Amino acid sequence: MDLRAALHQGTDLLAGSTTPEPRLTAEVLLCHALKRERVFLYSHPEHELSTVEWIHYGRYLYERMQGKPTQYITRTQEWYGRNFRVTPAVLIPRPETEHVVEIALEVARGARTVLDIGTGSGALAVTLALELGARAVATDVSLEALRVAQWNADALGGRVDFVCCDLASGVSGFFDLIVSNPPYIPEREIATLQREVRDFEPHVALLGGETGTELYGRIISQAQGLLRPGGWLIFEIGYQGEAAVRQGLSDGPWSRVETGYDLAGLPRVLRARYAP
């Protein structure tokens, strides 16, 4: 079978199983099977698939049709201009989370020390370490996630130390910036999530207790012992979480509490300055 036919068949199979963007997905999976860039598909449409390439492609198509996210098949996600390794042990980094980096670069450009609480793939910690030229510490409760994050830090070159602990319970020292994209989906909403998310992404990275905002309160109180005066706390929040997280900040020594919105116009990033 040549590439043109393989693409055609893959696209039809994916479309038949109502996979979104069937053509693009078939291209990405075929490239992964061939270990080639996308341009190869168009410059060599007559290339005959070897048996091994054909078997791999077939398996990837099957996995995708079962709902496995493409990124878990290719093991990679481009995020803030860099390729991050992802496995089912970590949440696939979302474009919305890039807003956390944007806000950090806006308000905390001078930060030399950064703490990322619940780092997952390490996307925030590694990106901030590189963009700010800072030293980062990143935590996760999942050792498997930290292995992925460490892999990314090694591959991309950020100066990041990892600590396996619940939120920031195992961290000491003082930081100029603390970021976190904690799990924030209310438990009762699990059934309403897309099957790709619900059945394949780690629930420990998604579910934030009954209301979805349980972890923010704990992070806010831990941050007060870990931020230098004048340092920033920047959260990603769920679209229903803004009021509760703001409430959690209202009793403490926080100033300049501001919400940032994502491209869909939803509250997405909440920042606050530690002003004891």
Point out which residues bind ligand GLN (CB under 6 A). Answer: 94, 181-185, 197, 206
Q: DSSP code of 118?
A: S
Q: Determine contact, residues 41/7, Cβ cutoff 8 Å.
A: yes
Q: How far is the CB of 59 from ligand GLN (least distance, A)?
A: 26
Q: How far is the CB of 236 from ligand GLN (least distance, A)?
A: 6
Q: How far is the CB of 137 from ligand GLN (least distance, A)?
A: 19
Q: How far is the CB of 184 from ligand GLN (least distance, A)?
A: 4
Residue (7 or 117) nearer to ligand GLN, CB: 117
In a 10 Å sphere around its CB, with 0-12 CB exposed, 13-18 middle and 19+ buried, how is residue 248 labelled? buried
Q: Determine contact, residues 47/67, Cβ cutoff 8 Å.
A: no
Residue (125 or 206) nearer to ligand GLN, CB: 206
Residue (182 or 267) nearer to ligand GLN, CB: 182
Q: Determine contact, residues 90/119, Cβ cutoff 8 Å.
A: no
HSE-CB for 24 with a 13 A CA cutoff: 5
Q: Determine contact, residues 89/202, Cβ cutoff 8 Å.
A: yes
d(CA 214, CA 167): 12
Residue (183 or 231) nearer to ligand GLN, CB: 183
Q: How far is the CB of 7 from ligand GLN (least distance, A)?
A: 29
